[in-house]
Amino acid sequence: MDTFVDSSWYFLRYLNPRDEGAAIDPAAVERWMPVDQYIGGIEHATMHLIYCRYFTHVLHDLGLVKFEEPIANLFCQGMVCKEAYYCQVDKWLRADEVDDARCKICGRPVHAEVAKMSKSKLNVVSPDEIMERLGADTLRLYILSDTPPERDQLWSEEGLMGAHRFLNRLWSTVQDNADMLRAAGTTERAGLDNVSRGLRRKTHETIRRVTDSIEDNYHFNTAISGVMELVAQVREAITGGQAQPAAVREGLAAAVVLLSPIVPHIAEELWQAMGGTESILDQQWPQVDPEALKVAEVEIAVQVNGKVRSRITVAADASEEEVRQAALADERVRRYLEGKTVAHVKVVPGRLVSISAK
């Protein structure tokens, strides 16, 4: 039968593929269907997605399934695009058949356009070659980190290598400190110094950011960006010898687990190197500790007549009056107030003190 027929009900057959007595298993269908989330290209919207709905409506009318709509949620991801080259004589050309905007075969000028990767336009990239050269995780990380998933993505060799360099940094950070990470204890807020508390706060801010990004329309790009920032801060803390091992381990462990759905192979290796006794697949998703997000002190800008003249550090729970007095007592602020009368002081909690003086 035509492939369009097959693709219109395959999701029902997947539930009992070895049953030779019936095409549909009602018990399996009732348990698993409808599909919770469908992810596919927008080109399916006017073909496969319409046909599968038609078939399901017919099956419902025949009493074979109890629902009319086969898919509860739809998400259309963008296409991966790359430059394509066309010659009027030699037609579509590979990139290595073009030099200085001319066809290497006939010497004529070529037309270049950005188009979705297509075998017919000879602008595809071989995933096998990339996996052989850089590993599957590099390819996965690059594809998911480059753009929001609903937008088209322009293929970039530079971006691919950037993903590879990050994974190398993460690998070396864990492997070079494996003994320390395995011996590190757990973090307890009362036992951490200021730098370690700051690192722990960054860890839990990242957990929240990654979780929200993935749950918000699969924005893996911002999730990956958050983990990269966390790894950079952990590396800085290690280099400076400023953070306690427990805080470093918590940060790296969170980074590895958060990345594990994206780069499962390297994540498994790093988890074992850090002392994990079970597969990373068996680990719970990291949970945000509200206590870790609390800030002991905040930095606030101080304006005098509309211009920032200083910055003060105050307790996070300081009252407006305490912030006001701290700003007026600041030595740099006082220099700009000499010979003037303070007319008004406005405090924007946690952000700004604005002083008007005449």
Locate the domains of the chain by residue range. 3-77, 80-124, 153-293, 297-357
Between CA 294 and CA 195 the distance in angstroms is 14
Query: Which residues of the chain, if any, have pLDDT below 50?
Result: none
Q: Starting at the edge strand that comes first in sequence, how are the strands of the sheet with 297-304 ordered?
A: 307-315, 297-304, 352-357, 342-348
Q: Per-residue pLDDT tens for 250-307?
A: 999 999 999 999 999 999 999 999 999 899 999 999 999 998 888 777 889 999 999 9
Confidence (pLDDT) at 349? 87
Q: Quick one: pLDDT at residue 46? A: 79
pLDDT in the model for residue 316: 78
Backbone CA torsion sign across 279, 284, 286, 289:
negative
pLDDT at 318 (0 to 100): 85
The CATH T-level fold of domain 297-357 is: Ubiquitin-like (UB roll) (3.10.20)
Measure the CA angle with vertex 50, ends 47 and 53; round to 5°.
Answer: 145
Check residue 2 and give its pLDDT. 80
pLDDT of residue 40: 86
Residues 84-109 have pLDDT tens digits of: 999 999 999 999 999 999 999 999 99
CATH 1.10.1660.10 is right for the domain spanning 153-293: no
